[in-house]
Structure 1
Amino acid sequence: MKYEEFGKQIIELVGGKDNIEAVVHCMTRLRFTLKNRDLADAEAIKAMDSVIDVVSNKVSFQIIIGTEVAEIHPEIMHLLGFESNEETKTNKNIVKRILDIVSESITPILPAMMSAGLIAGVLSIFTVTGIISPESSTYVIFDSIRTAMFYFLPIFMAVSASKRLGAPMYLGILLAVTLLSTSINGVEGLELFGLSLPTITYSNSFLPILLGLWFMGQVNKMVTKLMPKSLDYFFTPLITILVTLPVTLLFFGPIGTWLSDGLGYIFQFISDTFGSWLVVTLYAACQPFLIMMGAGNFIVPLILNEYAVNGFDAMFTPGYIISDFAVCGAMVGYFLRARNAKQKQFFGTVAFSAFMGITEPAVFGAFIKYRRPFLAVIIGGGLGGLFAGIMQVKGYAMVSLFGITSFIDDAGFSNFYFMIAALAIAFIGAVVAGYLLWMPKTEEQEATPEIMEGKSALNKVNLVSPVAGVTIPLSEIKDKAFSTGALGKGIGIIPEDKLIKAPISGEVVTLFPTNHAVGIKNEDGIEVLLHIGIDTVELNGEHFTALVKQGDKVSANDPLIEVDFAKVKEKGYDTTVAMVITNTQDYLEVVPNMTNEQELVTVIL
């Protein structure tokens, strides 16, 4: 948890868990409802590094932090043991919720998996070259790291997923080790309450334990509510595990096994019908799109299932490494074509990041902006994936490029050589495609400052006024989050019209549920926050009508929100609209223009 220590400090300084009735957040601050306001140490909170200010009024105790409050709030809710209503609202799609849970549970243990894979690769080199014998105790000891990683996978999942699913962590671990015990794991002829249990191997599998943890969370929540406090410490854990274990053995174990086998049959069918080459080709070509949509980790359960069923993966493991190398190649092509030092530095940096197996900087920093690199990866990655698929390259561990030796198998080096060839094809194909598909001249001109008379003719973007009214410096806004410039540079407007409009063309990336704040991001990456009124979040959306929704594309001057400012004033709220560039630090300068509504704020790129 990135903000765990910060959250613990905040909770302690507001008087502890028992003093907190509720905590919500708006765009910039945490709002606590406290039982006893006197227990909160406002001065100590103000002294914290990430805190801008503390505001205490009759409605709530507010801690002004900044735009990262959206990341801090869920962790504080978790530390408090409160349910996040926002999470419930935003994850209504059951399929997406399941995929998110699986992905978030697996992500923390990926470093351990990759370490095991790298060790397997090194051992493969040593055994094939005769440095170490597979029968030697040295080999057995180090190979135990790989076998232990996957055999005890349910325990790793119990640690990473318990809190996410509402299950007590140590009870989750107890459930996992019980399933892996020699008296249950893979044992035939077991009976429970006179009912025959199917023979299930729980090692190497993650679905039964995930289902069991979910059920344990539900049981624990129910028992905690019903159990008297005086008996809770001893009997709630006891009842939780006694109920969860039999249900897991009778229902979730078989269901998880059926799902696992089903996935294996699906990909076996694809492989038998079309050939695994098709899956490798498509995934190697299209992985950047999945990363862009936040679905990059959806293949991890599929890979683990292939390892568990077949002992290898001939589709996704080669595919994702080939795709990463193709992304690197596309950026190298752009690097070779770039005409100035700034471009070369950028494309060189993201190319190196992709080479190391981290492609997000390239995808979000270059691919989305210039679009044509997607085509370069489709070409390079597709060719490399096609070759790997035709040669039936098999992956034995989840590794990055530096674990490529794990492709050496018992048959020798042929699988390894074919993988190297596939990477070379993907890289060279993407380099050539990236070089030839270089950005159009219009985009190149925007990305390249012209040199005139020894000075740089800097690119700039103008923001129009979001609402008719009287402009004021940001420093005069009666809210320290804005007046101090902590949230970025910008300007204030005392509105004289009820319609809030887009100051710039772009995408609505944030629309707060109470409609009092909206964020827009344009194609240059400029992030604009419009905050309508001071403390107007307390109106819970009353008198605010959203005319757009999150994800909408808007043009400058398009209507965003309609506000009945007269009624907002009647209720005693300041109606000043703040417009700030929240990523001010990314640009050379942000200049407010007090008298020009068509160039109210200028961002110099």
Structure 2
Amino acid sequence: MKYQDFNKKIIELVGGKDNVQAVVHCMTRLRFTLKDRSKAKTEEIKNMDGVVDVVSNDVAYQIIVGTHVNEVHSELISMLGISGESDASDKKVKKNPVKAVLDLFSESMTPILEPIIAAGMLAGVLSLLTLTGLVSAESPTYLLLDNIRSAVFFFLPIFMAMSCAKRLNASPYLAVALAAALLSEGINGVEGLSIFGISLPTTTYSNSFIPIILAVWFMGYVQKFLKKIMPQFLHYFLVPVFTLIICLPITLMFFGPMGAWIGNGMSYVCLFLMDTLGNWSVIALYAALQPFLIMFGAGNFIIPIVVQFHAEIGYDPVFYAACTISDIAVAGAMVGYFLRAKNEKQKQLFGTFGFSALLGVTEPAIYGAFVKFRRPFIAVMIGGGLGGLFAGITNVKTYAMAWGLAGLPSYIGNSDYKNFYSMIIAVIIGFVAAAIAAYILGIPKEKDEKSNDEKIAEVKAVDSEVNASIMKKTVINGCAKGDLIELAKVDDKAFSSGALGKGVGIVANTNSVVAPANGEVVTVFPTKHAFGIKTDDGVEILIHIGINTVELEGKHFDLKVNQGDMVTVGQPLVEVDFEKVKEEGYDPTIIMVVTNTADYLDVIPVKEDFITSEEECITVVL
């Protein structure tokens, strides 16, 4: 359980196990369905190590964690004791019907992206192999491997049936059985079919997804109805067979033609826009705006349209080319920021975000840099728009469902080298233009970018110039003599994350721990390892001696005060034999934080390497 502590904290902050109705995941984010979203502590989740950002909108409560989300999710659902999918017995939240349909498409497509991406990437590899002459397009090796690609799309209804069945209250296995029947040689695309003397329209179900979604939706109601009217002891034997006997004819008569009409309608709308506004305008617009769609969790809505394009005309004339151009423009913007940044930590961050975007995963960059600095959105609108404009003018086609840098070879398609070269140029334009724009726009200075010394100096300057009633500060001294370390480097996530307040860590070189300020000892833990002090100004200080030292149960701690005592700065609180603590295998770091940090304008630790109990350690701006 590599992410056990992380998931335990997530579960706690979203309102506990009982508040989680379902949780699925996409490329980088956990998508929660919460029973009461008001119970989620969004700001605390955002501050967790390992969380890039939190997006709460009508689609879902989304926690962005990165490309390792699959591992996090598998452990999370195990800890929650759920399947990871929506439970049909759970109470559903009423949604706008159009919104509900879009959510269904998005959530059903997400689990099957893995084989779709694999098929797209395989198409790219095969294109490279034929381009270099290593494998002939007529060779048995090529044909065998190409069958993987074609099979994924041919059997798309089966993948979709399994993915959406439980969300539509239907049995996944019966849904797959129905999809397999539709793809059989006796039904798929066969003319002259009839049932009970009624002629059936000719419909091709391979490479489609809408007919099976409609059929599985209907199947959910049929199963519910049959279970209601049949005796319990007959459910196991009769419900499955009657479900299939009822659903297959209805699908053949109604849902197959309806699915074809809807799919053709989506294609028609897109083609109409392309013919009316120009192909170039649609690709340029989508490439420029894709980061905004991803930010709002709406990036998957294009997948059904792309699938329909491939089924109808054999390629995608708009979206995946725009996606790739936009993704690589995001990488370009991060490279521009990488070149502009002077801070080594920022350089490392922008470099990581840029590499991820090159591979087609842009959420880390969008939530980690774009939302924070905003100007990269403009850079991608410029770069993506220009790259998309060129791709539209040259009529670039996407022959496989693959995007990002690794998907570029798939644009060769059926030896369509002009298409490939046009896409390469479009990608270069997007990357270079976004990088230049980001570099010129620059990195906005963050509000908290000033050093702690600068902050304290500003506070002191203001304090000397304005009336004390307008601005006051209180000073907290060190609680021990020793080496001072940043709170973020303390080996305890509860403290290092800042969730318990701002403060410092001290590695003491003496055994005495003293009061850092005048006040009342409001808490003394029975194990003598932690103290709560409330100063005369109302500042609440927690002094926690060592990490996990609660397990020592007071051993090696000699208490000097009691709860309720009034103490003065420098007065001993406890004597600790730190050598014995270390011999017992415990980290002896003293952690001192202001637990009511949120009540003040700022809490500013000093930036020193060494501290004594006579020196200022933390400045609290009241």
C-alpha distance in structure 1 between counterparts of 2:399 and 2:326, whole Å? 17
2:594 counterpart residue number: 592
Corresponding residue to 1:29 among 13, 16, 25? 16
Deviations 1:343-384 (A, max 9, x none): 112111111111121100111111111111100000000000
1:437 equivalent in alignment to 2:424: no
C-alpha distance in structure 1 between counterparts of 2:274 and 2:81, whole Å? 43
Corresponding residue to 2:169 among 157, 166, 181? 166
Corresponding residue to 1:277 among 263, 276, 280? 280
In 1, are the aligned partners of 2:17 and 2:80 still within 8 Å (CA)?
no
In 2, are the aligned partners of 1:367 and 1:374 still within 8 Å (CA)?
yes
What is the TM-score with the length of structure 1 in the denominator? 0.64
C-alpha distance in structure 1 between counterparts of 2:419 and 2:129, whole Å? 16
1:180 equivalent in alignment to 2:183: yes
1:388 equivalent in alignment to 2:388: no
C-alpha distance in structure 2 between counterparts of 1:119 and 1:262, whole Å? 30
Q: CA RMSD in A?
A: 3.6
Deviations 1:169-208 (A, max 9, x none): 1101100010001111001111122222111100000000
In 2, are the aligned partners of 1:490 and 1:601 still within 8 Å (CA)?
no
1:371 counterpart residue number: 374
C-alpha distance in structure 2 between counterparts of 1:445 and 1:298, whole Å? 34
C-alpha distance in structure 2 between counterparts of 1:204 and 1:121, whole Å? 19
Instruction: State the SS of the aligned residue for 2:383.
Output: helix
C-alpha distance in structure 1 between counterparts of 2:227 and 2:598, whole Å? 61
Task: Check 1:594–1:287 CA distance in 2 against 1; reply closer, same or farther (3 A cut).
Answer: closer
2:359 counterpart residue number: 356
Deviations 1:459-478 (A, max 9, x none): xxxxxxxxxxxxxxxxxxxx
C-alpha distance in structure 2 between counterparts of 1:288 and 1:490, whole Å? 34
Task: Check 1:428–1:232 CA distance in 2 against 1; reply closer, same or farther (3 A cut).
Answer: same
1:311 equivalent in alignment to 2:311: no
1:99 equivalent in alignment to 2:102: yes
Task: Check 1:593–1:167 CA distance in 2 against 1; reply closer, same or farther (3 A cut).
Answer: closer
Task: Check 1:171–1:268 CA distance in 2 against 1; reply closer, same or farther (3 A cut).
Answer: same
Corresponding residue to 1:242 among 241, 245, 269? 245
In 2, are the aligned partners of 1:292 and 1:363 still within 8 Å (CA)?
yes
Residue 221 of structure 1 aligns with an amino acid whose one-letter code is K
1:407 equivalent in alignment to 2:411: yes
Instruction: State the SS of the aligned residue for 1:164.
Output: helix
Task: Check 1:155–1:591 CA distance in 2 against 1; reply closer, same or farther (3 A cut).
Answer: same
Residue 354 of structure 1 aligns with an amino acid whose one-letter code is A
Corresponding residue to 2:202 among 199, 202, 205? 199
2:90 counterpart residue number: 84
C-alpha distance in structure 2 between counterparts of 1:419 and 1:485, whole Å? 49
In 2, are the aligned partners of 1:376 and 1:431 still within 8 Å (CA)?
yes
The alpha-carbon deviation at position 452 of structure 1 amounts to 5.7
C-alpha distance in structure 2 between counterparts of 1:80 and 1:411, whole Å? 44
Which sections of structure 2, spanning at least 5 residues, go unmatched? Answer: 20-43, 49-60, 62-75, 460-493, 502-590, 608-622
Which sections of structure 1, spanning at least 5 residues, go unmatched? Answer: 8-23, 33-65, 459-483, 492-588
1:295 equivalent in alignment to 2:282: no
1:418 equivalent in alignment to 2:437: no
Task: Check 1:374–1:126 CA distance in 2 against 1; reply closer, same or farther (3 A cut).
Answer: same
Residue 418 of structure 1 aligns with an amino acid whose one-letter code is S
Task: Check 1:595–1:213 CA distance in 2 against 1; reply closer, same or farther (3 A cut).
Answer: closer
1:446 equivalent in alignment to 2:433: no
The alpha-carbon deviation at position 222 of structure 1 amounts to 2.1
C-alpha distance in structure 1 between counterparts of 2:595 and 2:362, whole Å? 39
The alpha-carbon deviation at position 81 of structure 1 amounts to 5.0
2:618 counterpart residue number: none
In 2, are the aligned partners of 1:284 and 1:322 still within 8 Å (CA)?
yes
In 2, are the aligned partners of 1:153 and 1:203 still within 8 Å (CA)?
yes
Residue 413 of structure 1 aligns with an amino acid whose one-letter code is Y
The alpha-carbon deviation at position 27 of structure 1 amounts to 4.8
The alpha-carbon deviation at position 271 of structure 1 amounts to 2.1
The alpha-carbon deviation at position 132 of structure 1 amounts to 2.4
1:398 equivalent in alignment to 2:410: no
Instruction: State the SS of the aligned residue for 1:389.
Output: helix
The alpha-carbon deviation at position 84 of structure 1 amounts to 2.5
In 2, are the aligned partners of 1:340 and 1:448 still within 8 Å (CA)?
no
The alpha-carbon deviation at position 595 of structure 1 amounts to 10
Corresponding residue to 1:329 among 329, 332, 338? 332
Task: Check 1:590–1:282 CA distance in 2 against 1; reply closer, same or farther (3 A cut).
Answer: farther
C-alpha distance in structure 1 between counterparts of 2:245 and 2:171, whole Å? 14
C-alpha distance in structure 2 between counterparts of 1:355 and 1:253, whole Å? 39
Instruction: State the SS of the aligned residue for 2:600.
Output: helix
C-alpha distance in structure 2 between counterparts of 1:302 and 1:413, whole Å? 25
In 2, are the aligned partners of 1:592 and 1:602 still within 8 Å (CA)?
no
Task: Check 1:280–1:82 CA distance in 2 against 1; reply closer, same or farther (3 A cut).
Answer: closer
Corresponding residue to 2:213 among 199, 210, 213? 210
Q: How does 1:552-571 map to 2 (within 5 A)?
A: none
Deviations 1:79-136 (A, max 9, x none): 8955322xx22x5111111111111111111121121112212222233443322222
C-alpha distance in structure 2 between counterparts of 1:274 and 1:326, whole Å? 23
Work out the number of aligned pairs and report it: 424
Task: Check 1:590–1:223 CA distance in 2 against 1; reply closer, same or farther (3 A cut).
Answer: farther
Residue 29 of structure 1 aligns with an amino acid whose one-letter code is G
Residue 277 of structure 1 aligns with an amino acid whose one-letter code is W
C-alpha distance in structure 2 between counterparts of 1:363 and 1:250, whole Å? 46
Corresponding residue to 1:223 among 221, 226, 239? 226
Deviations 1:478-502 (A, max 9, x none): xxxxxx98997448xxxxxxxxxxx
In 2, are the aligned partners of 1:152 and 1:203 still within 8 Å (CA)?
yes
C-alpha distance in structure 1 between counterparts of 2:317 and 2:421, whole Å? 15
C-alpha distance in structure 2 between counterparts of 1:280 and 1:601, whole Å? 49
In 1, are the aligned partners of 2:391 and 2:423 still within 8 Å (CA)?
yes
Task: Check 1:456–1:100 CA distance in 2 against 1; reply closer, same or farther (3 A cut).
Answer: farther
Instruction: State the SS of the aligned residue for 2:82.
Output: helix
Fraction of identical pairs, as percent: 50
The alpha-carbon deviation at position 409 of structure 1 amounts to 2.6
C-alpha distance in structure 2 between counterparts of 1:357 and 1:396, whole Å? 17
C-alpha distance in structure 1 between counterparts of 2:313 and 2:336, whole Å? 38
2:156 counterpart residue number: 153
